[in-house]
């Protein structure tokens, strides 16, 4: 497995890059991408990270949704839980939960990961009962041993079943360990890697969006 934090990364931000209140005038329903540096776009920039690429797919397909990037480099599931209330200030239609890679990289307790992911979904649904949840599964480093890596992977399956969430078994499927799709650190996807992730994410998301919002003609087609 690939982690998503390195000692040479910049220190994590102490506040979100975009304040929810600053985008309150946008009428589009929110898809909240809560995650790590993989979501934030470490090394490629937010404009080339997979949430921004998903936004382009949304616009092209005529879906009235706004992708909000709440990724943070070095983030753990505990950190994501602490930041959640900030992002729930805006109504959320779909939560994409990409957390756990740094928990695995640091060998943090599986029970802690499970409890944090469970709480994030439960609190989001408490605030917005109709929210759809997509979980982006990750894998733990093999050097932590088979019991840990197996329990780590099972956590995503169990939590997604408990909350009737859609599970992407491995967000980096087809990208992890491919030098052509990753930056020099071998951990973080490059621009092409993010395009592959966006394609995988879109395959999972599009059926969810179709049920929630009828497609409209893209802006150019309505002119």
Catalytic residue among 5, 93, 103, 188: 188
Nearest to 100, CA basis, from 127, 139, 65: 139
Nearest to 123, CA basis, from 112, 133, 138: 133
- In this prediction, residue 219 carries a pLDDT of 54
In this predicted structure, the answer to whether residue 221 has a pLDDT above a threshold of 60 is no
Catalytic residue among 118, 158, 178, 185: 185
In this predicted structure, the answer to whether residue 7 has a pLDDT above a threshold of 60 is no
Residue 214 confidence class, pLDDT cut points 50, 70, 90: low
Catalytic residue status for 194: no
Residue 12 confidence class, pLDDT cut points 50, 70, 90: very low
**And the tokens for 152?**
């780590």
CB atoms within 10 A of CB 1: 21
HEC profile of the chain: CCCCCCCCCCCCCCCCCCCHHHHCCCCCEEEEEEECHHHHCCCCCHHHCHHHHHHHHHHHHCCCEEEEEEECCCCCHHHHHHHHHHHCCCCCCEEEEECCHHHHHHCCCHHHHHHHHHHHHHHHHHHCCCCEEEEECCCCCHHHCHHHHHHHHHHHHHHHHHCCCEEECCCCCCCCCCHHHECCCCCCECHHHHHHHHHHHHHHHHHHHHHHCCCCCCHHHHC
pLDDT tens figures, 123-132: 999 999 999 9
pLDDT tens figures, 48-64: 999 999 999 999 999 99
Catalytic residue among 5, 37, 77, 93: 37
Catalytic residue status for 185: yes
| Four-CA torsion 169, 173, 177, 183, nearest 10 degrees | -110
In the chain, the percentage of residues whose pLDDT exceeds 90 is: 82
In this predicted structure, the answer to whether residue 46 has a pLDDT above a threshold of 80 is yes
Nearest to 144, CA basis, from 104, 90, 110: 104
- Tell me the domain boundaries of the chain: 25-217
In this predicted structure, the answer to whether residue 18 has a pLDDT above a threshold of 90 is no
pLDDT tens figures, 140-196: 999 999 999 999 999 999 999 999 999 999 999 999 999 999 999 999 999 999 999
Catalytic residue status for 26: no
In this predicted structure, the answer to whether residue 84 has a pLDDT above a threshold of 50 is yes
Regarding pTM above 0.85, the answer is yes
Report domain 25-217's class.
alpha beta
123 with 89: CB under 8 angstroms?
no
- In this prediction, residue 24 carries a pLDDT of 58
């Amino acid at each position: 497995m690939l982690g998503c934090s390195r000692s040479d990364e910049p220190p994590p931000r102490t506040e979100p890059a975009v304040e929810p209140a600053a985008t309150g005038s946008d009428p589009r329903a929110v898809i909240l991408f809560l995650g790590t540096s993989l979501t934030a776009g470490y090394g490629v920039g937010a404009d080339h990270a997979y949430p921004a690429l998903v936004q382009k797919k949304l616009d092209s397909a005529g879906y009235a949704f706004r992708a909000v990037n709440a990724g943070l480099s070095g983030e753990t599931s505990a950190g994501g839980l602490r930041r959640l209330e900030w992002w729930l200030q805006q109504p959320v239609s779909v939560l994409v939960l990409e957390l756990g890679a740094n928990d695995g990289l640091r060998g943090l307790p599986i029970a802690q990961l499970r409890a944090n992911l469970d709480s994030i979904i439960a609190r989001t649904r408490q605030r917005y009962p109709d929210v759809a949840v997509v979980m982006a599964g990750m894998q733990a480093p093999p050097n932590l041993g088979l019991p840990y890596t197996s329990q780590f992977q099972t956590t995503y399956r169990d939590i997604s079943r408990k909350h009737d969430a859609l599970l992407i078994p491995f967000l980096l499927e087809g990208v992890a360990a491919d030098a052509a799709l990753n930056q020099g650190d071998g951990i973080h996807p490059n621009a092409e890697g993010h395009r592959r992730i966006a394609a995988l994410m879109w395959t999972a998301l599009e059926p969810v969006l179709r049920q929630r919002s009828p497609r409209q003609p893209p802006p150019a087609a309505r002119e």
